[in-house]
A and B are shown apart, each in its own frame.
Chain A
Amino acid sequence: MAGIGTETLDSLNTLVFSSLEFLFRYLPLFLLILFLIPKKMRCLWLLAYSLLLYWAGEPGYVFLLLGMAVVNFLFGLSLEVRKSASLEAPEETAKGQPFWEQRTEVRPVGEWQELFLRDPEEDSPRRKILFILAVSCNLLLLAWFKLNNAFDKSFLLPVGLSFYIFKNLSYLSDVYRGTIPAEHSPVRFGAYLCMFPQIVSGPIMRYSDALKGFCFEHRFSLYRLESGVKRIAAGLAAKVLIADRLGILWNDLQTIGFESISTPLAWLGAAGYSLQLYFDFWGYSMIAVGIGEMIGLPVIRNFHHPYAARSVSEFYRRWHMTLGNFFRDYVYIPLGGNRKGMVRTVCNLLFVWLLTGLWHGNSVNFLLWGLLLGLLVAAERLALRPFLENHRLLSHLYVLVVLPLTWMVFAIPSLSEMGIYFLRLFPLAGRPAAVNPGDFLKELKIFAPTLLAAAVFCVPAVGRWCERHKNNTAVIIALFFLFWLSVYQMANAVNNPFMYANF
């Protein structure tokens, strides 16, 4: 996820949002030039700058990225649903303009569907084969990298590859289904795929959303600039002040060794990890969305107070929403969703969740994690739902206890270590020798303020209050200080190699 992906970048930090280099150099430079150059150049600038940043971090893979963009661009063109069978060459429609300035007309999605679902070419075998070919190309590439990585851990995946592929898949599917027109401008298509705010860990923006932004051609707006900066400051604080801090707690547990943690500490660790993961990814997403907002892209919601959910299914409708929506729209529903009987529904759910698990990583624990979630979601659908709906308090409790447990399966790759951890959570085998019963208090003393702050920001009412009062002077001043506090932490974290070795 966010944290994992960014660690593979080199020290230039070109794509690490929570780095001083990015915040004070790369981002301002990008924005400054973006706002100074003529509007029609802005897409090109976004693409060029994104590739430059990617190239600085991952020199080799930038060509892979470009190659994939070209291939998918061509696939998109050939899949486009047209009334007339002949493909118009882009040059012909250019009317003397350079090809990247051609506009693709945006129409409401419904209208497009209306227009093209009845198209006789829609179901032609040629299109079907082409679509399957295009999707397989993308999936094979992803699988090839993931498998290589599975067998040789030193083989690193290109940063953000799975997000990149998922954007491609959603684009191709939408074009195939006719819900969007194919993009005729390679620059705009490239900018959509490679844009640096989303390349590392999403959000997986749909092409139709990107078009909304692109058709404004990144109109400069002070309101959006301010709002974007606010998001960045808040996201940075979530990532640096809460997630990174809680990361030390989880690190402490691993340093002690799971055999030697007390049961209360095991639960504290599970809670800490759950919050860390949330604030890490939420913070990242907020920064990504904030940057997008500044350049005119629509605000995409990736998290919506997940820990306030009352069932596991609801949790995942509020957690990493763009990924959840992706699996729903492009896997679950095409498989038949819940319309083909109970058995089929459960099978579909399990399949989708296994895929989700695999996508997160290829070790056994991720499969187990996906399977576990699939079973939980299926159980909720089959039996638990009425109970959860009628018992407000118990349903919250259920989520708050069960989810951290599933995160532990997510977090611990080795099955034997996982077993040890669960035996510490549920000490059925008694207490091993080298356990320090006071460890819980020691860690709590250090992390209580952070845990408390994290818990407070998990409450939807707090989020709503912040959203409503975001123009309040006090909130602005608070964000100002949070930003600089985060910068203080970032400036000193790098220089302190022992930060994560604190015992």
Chain B
Amino acid sequence: MIFVAKQVLGLVKMKLLKRCPLVIMLAVSTLVLTLTAHANREGRYREYQKRQNMTPMLSAVFEGAKDGVFPWSREDDTLLTMADAAPEEGAAGEEGPQGGEESISEKPPSGNDTDAAAPKEDDADGEGEGEEQTGEGGNTESEPFPEAEETAVSESGSGAKEEGTEQAGGTEPVTGEMPSGQGVEEENGAPWTEEAWNEDLTYDYVPVDETYLDDALFIGDSRTQGLFEYGGLEDHAVFYCKTSLTIYDLFKNDLAFIKTNSGNQTLTQALSERQFGKIYLMLGINEMGTGTPESFFTEYAKAVLKIRELQPNAILFVQGIMHVATQKNAADPIFNNFNIDVRNVEIQTLENKRDIFYLDVNEVVCDENGNLFDDWTFDQVHLKGKYYQIWKDFLLQHGIVRTQG
């Protein structure tokens, strides 16, 4: 002990700051950051669980900063955005921190049980209410969250589960009802379809050439971006895509991801300005770590509805999410083909063979086990440049030509 005391005393004597300023600056800042993370561990950094025992606590401060959650940002803000998973339409994205919503479900499932379960339930709540019970949703939802979220969470620990099952029951009908709901919208919005509906017309795929895509729009993530860069379609179709785009970015976050000469536009703005004949959509891989298949599909269906509304005359092609390759499929607990197929099955339910068609490019890019051909990809997720041709050819084999009758 005396030895320790001597050492410490010795340090102080040596005019520490003058001798080793960087060490002191780093030590003090580490301390401050750790205390900040510790003080807010139940608050604004609740969503940033430690990855493992040895991960330093201050990691949360940096992970939060990436999502726009800062020690000085008002706690209510972040929590409100988290709680209102589906606030009134339009108001959603304006609060900015897109991470707010995403962080809810980004949390690893292996985390602390109650903590991990509770917000997920909230997520489902939000989505469900957005669809069905807009009125009630606001009231019940806003109560537990604005303040004292810590107690709210721990109190509802046991209740949350019951609520959860209820809500799960509540969300499912929504997914089931989507196609019919959308039919209603359509009858109002699209003049030509009325006849089509009446005549019970459906269409079959026919081969087409590239000019077919002259009035086409592609919406998607990095994979669609690859189709743009290497598919040789840049002279024909328009591409609204961005790396790691998610279905939530389209309307819920209202992300201004479309670059135009006059600045960035949101999808709503872009689709209001220009009408397309065909719209191809492939999204869903980036959000697989987020939410549940149900919450994903609810958002997906809403997005398709909204596109339908903005583009009444376009043929919509919803594309199944492209699979990943063997190794990733085997090793990744989240980004695997089983989880992709769960979502694809749901996406396929949107197809009505009249104005919404489901295309699954996996038919031509996967081996007999349903994995993306290993030689066709480097990172197990994206096609290599020259194989985008195959995707393009697949799309051209599946044209829909409808004659209005």
Whether A439 contacts B26 by the Cβ 8 Å rule is no
Interface residues of A in 40-77 (CB under 8 A from B): none
Q: Which of A36, A38, A492, A501 contacts B62 (CB 8 A)?
A: A492
Min C-beta distance of A54 to chain B, whole Å: 16
| Interface membership of B385, Cβ < 8 A | yes
Q: Which of A11, A220, A497 contacts B335 (CB 8 A)?
A: A497
Chain B, interface size: which category?
A: 35 or more
| Interface membership of A100, Cβ < 8 A | no
| Interface membership of B30, Cβ < 8 A | yes
| Interface membership of B20, Cβ < 8 A | yes
A222 to B19, CA, bound (A): 7
Q: Which residues of B sit under 8 angstroms from A480, Cβ to Cβ?
A: 22, 25-26, 29
Listed stretches B276-284, B337-345, B361-369, B374-382; interface member: B374-382
| Interface membership of A488, Cβ < 8 A | yes
Q: Which residues of B sit under 8 angstroms from A259, Cβ to Cβ?
A: 384-386
Given A436-B229, A501-B382: A492 and B25 interface contact (C-beta under 8 Å): no
Interface residues of A in 246-299 (CB under 8 A from B): 251, 254-257, 259-261
Whether B29 contacts A434 by the Cβ 8 Å rule is no
Q: Which of B11, B54, B106, B222 contacts A502 (CB 8 A)?
A: B222
Whether A502 contacts B56 by the Cβ 8 Å rule is no
Interface residues of A in 447-503 (CB under 8 A from B): 473, 476, 479-480, 483-484, 487-488, 491-492, 494-495, 497-498, 500-503
Closest to A14 in B: B54
Whether A21 contacts B20 by the Cβ 8 Å rule is no
Tell me the interface secondary structure of chain A in the complex. Answer: helix
Whether B222 contacts A435 by the Cβ 8 Å rule is no
| Interface membership of B156, Cβ < 8 A | no
| Interface membership of A432, Cβ < 8 A | yes
Closest to A433 in B: B386
Closest to A436 in B: B229
Q: Which residues of A sit under 8 angstroms from B379, Cβ to Cβ?
A: 251, 254-255, 500-501
Q: Which residues of A sit under 8 angstroms from B225, Cβ to Cβ?
A: 503
Q: Which of A11, A251, A442, A492 contacts B66 (CB 8 A)?
A: A492
Q: Which residues of A sit under 8 angstroms from B226, Cβ to Cβ?
A: 503
| Interface membership of A226, Cβ < 8 A | yes
Q: Which residues of A sit under 8 angstroms from B206, Cβ to Cβ?
A: none
Q: Which residues of A sit under 8 angstroms from B207, Cβ to Cβ?
A: none
A254 to B384, CA, bound (A): 8
Q: How would residues 15 to 27 of chain B score, 1 for a CB under 8 Å from any chain A CB and 0 otherwise?
A: 0100111110110
A498 to B381, CA, bound (A): 10
Whether B222 contacts A260 by the Cβ 8 Å rule is no
Q: Which residues of B sit under 8 angstroms from A151, Cβ to Cβ?
A: none
Q: Which residues of B sit under 8 angstroms from A225, Cβ to Cβ?
A: 20, 23
Min C-beta distance of B335 to chain A, whole Å: 7
Min C-beta distance of B219 to chain A, whole Å: 16
Q: Which residues of A sit under 8 angstroms from B14, Cβ to Cβ?
A: 222
A220 to B7, CA, bound (A): 10
| Interface membership of A133, Cβ < 8 A | no
Interface residues of B in 31-80 (CB under 8 A from A): 51-52, 54-56, 58-59, 62-63, 65-66
| Interface membership of A342, Cβ < 8 A | no
Closest to A233 in B: B22
Q: How would residues 4 to 28 of chain A score, 1 for a CB under 8 Å from any chain B CB and 0 otherwise?
A: 0000000111000000110011100
| Interface membership of B173, Cβ < 8 A | no
| Interface membership of A35, Cβ < 8 A | yes
Number of residues on chain A facing chain B (CB within 8 A): 53
| Interface membership of A230, Cβ < 8 A | yes
Whether A12 contacts B52 by the Cβ 8 Å rule is yes
Q: Which of A24, A226, A256, A495 contacts B63 (CB 8 A)?
A: A495
Closest to B29 in A: A484
Given A21-B55, A25-B54: A257 and B22 interface contact (C-beta under 8 Å): no
Whether B54 contacts A256 by the Cβ 8 Å rule is no
A491 to B23, CA, bound (A): 21
A436 to B388, CA, bound (A): 12
Q: How would residues 258 to 278 of chain B score, 1 for a CB under 8 Å from any chain A CB and 0 otherwise?
A: 000000000000000000000
Q: Which of B20, B54, B63 contacts A492 (CB 8 A)?
A: B63
Given A222-B20, A476-B22, A501-B222: A439 and B229 interface contact (C-beta under 8 Å): yes
Whether B19 contacts A502 by the Cβ 8 Å rule is no
Interface residues of A in 163-209 (CB under 8 A from B): none
| Interface membership of B232, Cβ < 8 A | yes
Whether A229 contacts B22 by the Cβ 8 Å rule is yes
A79 to B200, CA, bound (A): 94
A433 to B386, CA, bound (A): 8
| Interface membership of B286, Cβ < 8 A | yes
Q: Which residues of B sit under 8 angstroms from A25, Cβ to Cβ?
A: 54, 56
| Interface membership of B184, Cβ < 8 A | no
Q: Which residues of A sit under 8 angstroms from B223, Cβ to Cβ?
A: 503
Q: Which residues of A sit under 8 angstroms from B389, Cβ to Cβ?
A: 433-434
Min C-beta distance of B320 to chain A, whole Å: 19
Can you list 29 A-B pairs with a CB-CB distance of less than 8 A? A20-B55, A20-B59, A21-B52, A26-B54, A35-B7, A36-B7, A38-B3, A222-B20, A222-B23, A225-B20, A226-B22, A255-B379, A255-B382, A257-B387, A473-B21, A480-B22, A480-B25, A484-B29, A487-B58, A488-B62, A488-B66, A491-B62, A494-B51, A495-B106, A497-B289, A500-B379, A501-B382, A503-B222, A503-B225
Listed in ascending order, the chain A residues whose CB lies under 8 Å from chain B are 11-13, 20-21, 24-26, 35-36, 38, 220, 222-223, 225-226, 229-230, 233, 251, 254-257, 259-261, 432-436, 438-439, 442, 473, 476, 479-480, 483-484, 487-488, 491-492, 494-495, 497-498, 500-503
- Taking A256-B230, A494-B51 as known contacts, 9 extra A-B pairs with beta carbons closer than 8 A to each other, sorted by chain A number, are A11-B52, A229-B22, A255-B378, A257-B385, A257-B387, A260-B230, A479-B22, A492-B62, A500-B379
State the 9 A-B residue pairs at the shortest beta-carbon distance, nearest first: A260-B385, A257-B384, A226-B20, A491-B62, A503-B222, A24-B56, A434-B386, A254-B378, A222-B19
